């Protein structure tokens, strides 16, 4: 194993660091095709122009990729998108509109609940299904009309990392492709999206370089029982993913909230013993996030803020700040995934848990 791991201590750490490569490999496929339907398989040119809505089905980390995609699909493609946990969808009396594209997201392509949700969607009358998957010829893409393969390479750590960020690239490409088909993305906008993708691996590398600073924070978390993650807009699903990573591998109870929802419950949990991680890039919601942070600070909660260079945060008593790269615009959620992955990894290391094989969890869940 040490040969395979190279300079890294765990597969998870290695896979976190492989993200610039995994992303550029995945982006290459997108740029070669130029947001054309063909990116999603031979039948995409026939099916995608018919799409009037999107329904995403997934589990775990892949579900959070879906939640992120909802923001892109609605704003870039201008069509409605709903995102649902596969194990819920498969057992409810769902409404099916055959003009809606079913998108399943699965690293392994074998997750039973996602596979069953796809079969159920077909029984209900859906006949356009796209699989976003990392494993070629696995069960879910085989049962789908359309497919986008992420090029993350084999992912061994149970907690998903590089599969997630590459799924986001595939989903972003879907949003732009649908937007183009619907006449909402002109040549100039398309060029902007291409540039954003080209610059992404470099920004992700910059975020990886923050590892020593993030490691320095991990000791402050290692003795905690609970943690709260906050984000807004596109960064809310990233807060969810950060909380999931921390739960999965460090066994610290963590929850994520859209920061505006604090006052409706979680604020009651905040006191001196509650670390609150905030994803606070300089976007349209920054001022709102700042006032949410004051609510936390006023109750004694200790803030750990990931803010990009343009957010203009300074450290103060009980407020720790790590500066992420300059705001990268529409793909900022992908860049901000890196620090929450690294935080979970280093907290787990500090607690001495089995990072690559957390208790009670499996890499691919093929049972119910």
Closest C-alpha among 279, 212, 210 to residue 240 = 279
Pairing relation of β-strands 302-308 and 319-324? Answer: parallel
Question: x-or-dash pattern for ligand G6P, window 18-57, by CB under 6 A?
Answer: ----------------------------------------
Smaller CB separation from ligand G6P, 65 or 276: 65
Smaller CB distance to ligand G6P: residue 185 or 239? 239
Q: Taking CB under 6 A as the criterion, which residues in 231-270 touch ligand G6P?
A: none
Residue of minimal CB distance from ligand G6P? 60
Query: In the numeric block, which tokens belong to residue 274?
Result: 């509650």
DSSP code of residue 327? P
Give the x/- contact pattern for ligand G6P in 61-90, rule: CB under 6 A.
Answer: xx----------------------------
**363 contributes a contact to ligand G6P by CB under 6 A:** yes
∠ Cα 254 338 11 (to 5°): 90
Looking at the Cβ atoms of 60 and 141, the one nearer to ligand G6P is 60
Measured from the CB of residue 134, what is the shortest distance to ligand G6P in angstroms? 8
Write out the two tokens for 49.
């122009």
Q: Measured between alpha carbons, how far is 256 from 226 in angstroms, rounded to an integer?
A: 11
In a 13 Å sphere around the CA of 229, the CA atoms on its Cβ side amount to: 28
From 27, 51, 59, 344, residue interacting with ligand G6P (rule: CB under 6 A): 59
- Residue closer to ligand G6P by CB (options 108, 324) is 108
Residue 106, H or E segment? strand 100-106
Choosing from 21, 215, 220, 363, which is the catalytic residue? 363
According to DSSP H, which parts of the chain are helical? 2-5, 11-17, 19-33, 44-47, 60-72, 86-89, 112-123, 139-142, 162-181, 187-208, 211-222, 236-250, 286-298, 332-351
- Binding mask 104-123 toward ligand G6P (x if CB under 6 A, else -) reads --xxx--x--x---------
**φ, ψ (nearest 5 deg) of residue 320:** -105, 140
Report the residue from 20, 41, 60, 201 that binds ligand G6P according to the rule CB under 6 A: 60
Q: Binding-site residue total for ligand G6P (CB under 6 A)?
A: 16
- Measuring CA to CA, how many Å separate 94 from each of 55, 110, 124? 11, 23, 8
Closest to ligand G6P by CB, 188 or 360: 360
d(CA 247, CA 227): 9
Applying CB under 6 A, among 23, 44, 159, 331 the residue interacting with ligand G6P is 159
Between 133 and 146, CB nearer to ligand G6P = 133
Site for ligand G6P in 129-158 (CB under 6 A): 158
Is 288 one of the catalytic residues? no
Least distance from C-beta 314 to ligand G6P, angstroms? 36
CB 180 within 8 A of CB 44: no
Q: Which residues bind ligand G6P (CB under 6 A)?
A: 59-62, 106-108, 111, 114, 158-160, 361, 363-365
User: Could you list the active site residues?
Assistant: 363
């Amino acid at each position: 194993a040490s040969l395979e791991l190279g300079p890294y201590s765990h597969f998870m750490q290695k896979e976190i660091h492989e993200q610039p490569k995994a992303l550029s490999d995945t982006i290459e496929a997108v740029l070669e095709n130029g947001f054309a339907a063909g990116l999603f398989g031979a039948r995409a040119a026939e099916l995608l122009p018919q799409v009037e809505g999107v329904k995403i089905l997934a589990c775990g980390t892949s579900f959070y990729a879906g939640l992120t995609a909802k923001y892109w699909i609605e704003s870039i493609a201008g069509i409605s998108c709903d995102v649902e946990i596969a194990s819920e969808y498969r057992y409810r009396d769902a409404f099916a509109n055959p003009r809606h594209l079913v998108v399943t997201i699965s690293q392994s392509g074998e997750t039973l609940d996602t596979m069953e949700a796809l079969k159920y969607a077909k029984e209900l009358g859906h006949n356009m299904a796209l699989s976003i998957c990392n494993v070629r010829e696995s069960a879910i893409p085989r049962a789908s009309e359309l497919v986008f393969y992420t090029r993350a390479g084999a992912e061994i750590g149970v907690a998903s990392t590089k599969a997630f960020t590459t799924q986001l690239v595939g989903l972003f490409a879907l949003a732009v492709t649908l937007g183009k088909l619907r006449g909402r993305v002109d040549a100039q906008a398309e060029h902007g999206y291409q540039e954003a993708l080209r610059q992404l691996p470099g920004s992700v590398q910059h975020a990886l370089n923050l590892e020593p600073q993030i490691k320095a924070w991990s000791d402050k978390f290692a003795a905690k029982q609970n943690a709260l993650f906050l984000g807004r807009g596109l960064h809310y699903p990233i807060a969810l993913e950060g909380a999931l990573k921390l739960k999965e591998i460090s066994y610290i109870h963590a929850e994520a909230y859209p920061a505006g929802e604090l006052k409706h419950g979680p604020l009651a949990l905040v006191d001196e013993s509650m670390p609150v991680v905030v994803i606070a890039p300089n976007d349209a919601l920054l001022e709102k996030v700042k006032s949410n942070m004051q609510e936390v600070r006023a109750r004694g909660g200790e803030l750990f803020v990931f803010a990009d260079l343009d957010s203009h945060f300074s450290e103060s008593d009980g407020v720790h700040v790590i500066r992420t790269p300059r705001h990268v615009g529409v793909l900022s959620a992908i860049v901000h995934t890196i620090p929450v992955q690294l935080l979970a990894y280093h907290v787990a290391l500090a607690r001495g848990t089995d990072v690559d094989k957390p208790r009670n969890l499996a890499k691919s869940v093929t049972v119910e």
